[in-house]
Structure 1
Amino acid sequence: MEKVLLVVNPSSGGEKAKDFEEMAKEKLGQGFEEIVVKHTEKGGDARDFAKQAAKDGFDAVFVMGGDGTVNEGISGLAEEEYRPKFGFFPLGTVNDLARALKMPLDPEEAIQSLDLTKTKALDIGKVNNKDYFMNVIAIGTIPQAVNETSVEEKTKLGKLAYAISALKNLADNHSYAFTVQLDGQEKVIESSNLLIGLTNSIAGFEELLPEAKVNDGLLHFIYLKDSNFLESVQTLPSLLSGVDQSNEHVGYYQVKDIRISLEDQGEELHLNVDGDEGDKLPVDITVLPSHLEVFA
């Protein structure tokens, strides 16, 4: 008997979350004989529910929520020897993975258009041999802006909230000296921001990494070539118009393994992993090619 777990973040999607849940159950009933529904109450619940579903031999795991909930679902499956097929219904502010997979961003449309006969291989990233990401790792001014963006701002302005916060932080520019190993080749880089992307969509900007595919087996590493406010401003057009090669303002590499540390051991800098604060430097980052099968 085909069995699916549906993990719902009831705080996503506003007052219509319950309606979307009922729609999703009806849709999943077209392909699965048994549907188990669990609601999250705190951070980590979606990860734990997905992990247990893998251990219990479920055929598929779906999550309903924002990027954080989707990340947790993926993280819960990532370490398991048997990994059920994965799916999700986007109810978040940005929904980067949905954008990368060309899914409708309207929840009702995403549910109704779901084809349970079609799946696609999905790369995921691994950080320090313990954490996972599906879209992006950011280090520097941009993640600081994301961390300082309030829930109210994100709800009101959507992805524009990130851009506004980033511009505010650029005025107080601070660049860092990074030691970066790209597939074992070491470079010293001075930059205010580093980004490691897995998909073309970063913070809702769907063409920021036009070469990135969800299953190309690569980490797409970019850094701004800036050491002051003027240089930071000059990098923005190159960044926002899409990066597919290095130029005078932006560096770009496609690799499989990255190690990043700070030259100044007295400084401390944390990652932002799919929108949430992560480990502090130094870090090791790698890609797990085609690690999950996702309903696309």
Structure 2
Amino acid sequence: MYHFIINPHSKTGKAKDLWQGLRKRLENEGIDYKEYFTTGRGHATQISKEICAIDNEKKTIVIVGGDGTANEVINGIDNYENVLLGYIPMGSSNDLARGLLLPKNPAEALDRVLNPKKIRAVDHGQVTFQDGFSRRFSVSSGIGYDAAICQVALTSKIKSFLNKIGVGKLTYLLIGIKEIFASIPCDATVIADGITYPIKNLIFMASLIQKCEGGGLLMAPDASDNDRKLSICLVSNISKLKILFVMPTIFFGKHTKIKGVQMITCSSVSIHTHSPLYVHTDGETHGRHTDITLSCTSDQVSIIT
């Protein structure tokens, strides 16, 4: 039995029509499946929880949507040993699919789900806020400038327009340029695996499981998604003009050698900022905070690749 969780609003609403074609194949081949359509933010998490609660048998859950839908599904799983994930990427960023080397074509992605040749155990991270609330992530979590970009992108008309013309990945670049001049750096203290780093004028701190975020930005070129480690990218104490020159280098992973950019590999990291900054997990924002702790969890999720 395959459980398909579909976000019909992915690909600017095209996902629902694309799913009809995939469903036809399932019907023609007599494949046993159930379909679940999400209706809003958080619904995929609820659906995932309900599927996991059916019985103690191993489930195959297939995500049809983008990084945000994948994030919600992962947050609804209570026992990773009992779940095998498939993924048919239909988002604007698709950084998880990029990291897993999954096909962009939905029909090819479905074929891989139905005829798996490889199953990978993949890390995921967790961010915990000061009030005890926690959230898992499969691509990245960030605080500061990159999270502010995500916040603006959630309600941006630019994102909808660029998605419609097939260049949605430019959303984060264009909003990023605008947010450079809107962002206000602040001092921070970072503690990674017990080592303290005093930070002057923090721009952002990104914690990654995958190499890319933001639609292909090679933020952590040395990241591995199965080493039980976070790859941290800290950007601080550089001028806004210099950020404009740093941004294009991130596409090629060359930013790591620029002064003001610091890369750290660790199991866990905490940060205290002198001013509240936006926080995101896999592109979904969670308001402004001054204190968060991030870690790579000990359990891994099995994904068909």
Which category describes the TM-score, using the shorter chain as reference length? Answer: 0.7 to 0.9
Distance 1:84 1:117 in 2: 17
Indicate the percent of aligned positions where both proteins have the same amino acid: 23
The one of 251, 269, 275 equivalent to 2:283 is 275
- Cα deviation for residue 16 of structure 1 reads 4.3
* TM-score, normalised relative to structure 2: 0.85
**Deviation readout 1:142-161 (Å, 9 max, x if unpaired):** 22122112453223321211
Q: Is the 8 A contact 2:207 2:230 kept in 1?
A: yes
Whether 2:135 is the aligned partner of 1:131: answer yes
- 1:86 aligns with 85
Distance 1:288 1:239 in 2: 27
Q: Is the 8 A contact 2:209 2:225 kept in 1?
A: yes
Q: Which moved more, 1:84-93 or 1:155-164?
A: 155-164
- Cα deviation for residue 243 of structure 1 reads 5.4
* TM-score, normalised relative to structure 1: 0.87
Distance 1:243 1:255 in 2: 21
For structure 1, which runs of at least 5 residues remain unmatched after alignment?
none
- 1:144 aligns with 148
For structure 2, which runs of at least 5 residues remain unmatched after alignment?
163-167
**Deviation readout 1:135-178 (Å, 9 max, x if unpaired):** 11121122212211245322332121111111112134522111
**Deviation readout 1:62-105 (Å, 9 max, x if unpaired):** 1211211111111111x336531011211111111001111122
RMSD between aligned residues: 2.5
For residues 112 and 13 of structure 1, do their structure 2 counterparts lie closer, same or farther at Cα, with a shift above 3 Å needed?
farther
For residues 151 and 33 of structure 1, do their structure 2 counterparts lie closer, same or farther at Cα, with a shift above 3 Å needed?
same
- Cα deviation for residue 125 of structure 1 reads 0.5
Alignment of 1:1-296 (within 5 A): 3-14=1-12, 16-25=14-23, 34-56=32-54, 57-77=57-77, 79-80=78-79, 82-114=81-113, 115-128=115-128, 130-149=134-153, 150-157=155-162, 158-190=168-200, 191-205=202-216, 207-242=218-253, 247-262=258-273, 264=274, 267-278=275-286, 280-289=289-298, 291-296=300-305
Aligned residues: 290
**Deviation readout 1:251-276 (Å, 9 max, x if unpaired):** 001101011111x3xx2222111111
Distance 1:8 1:107 in 2: 12
- 2:165 aligns with none
Distance 1:33 1:182 in 2: 47
Distance 1:245 1:32 in 2: 50
Distance 1:47 1:288 in 2: 19
Distance 2:26 2:269 in 1: 39
Distance 1:125 1:273 in 2: 9
- Cα deviation for residue 32 of structure 1 reads 9.2
For residues 203 and 282 of structure 1, do their structure 2 counterparts lie closer, same or farther at Cα, with a shift above 3 Å needed?
same
Distance 2:88 2:137 in 1: 18
Distance 1:215 1:111 in 2: 24
SS of the residue aligned with 2:232? strand
For residues 244 and 232 of structure 1, do their structure 2 counterparts lie closer, same or farther at Cα, with a shift above 3 Å needed?
closer
Distance 2:193 2:255 in 1: 19
For residues 30 and 232 of structure 1, do their structure 2 counterparts lie closer, same or farther at Cα, with a shift above 3 Å needed?
same
Q: Is the 8 A contact 2:206 2:233 kept in 1?
A: yes
Whichever residue aligns with residue 221 of structure 1, its letter is I
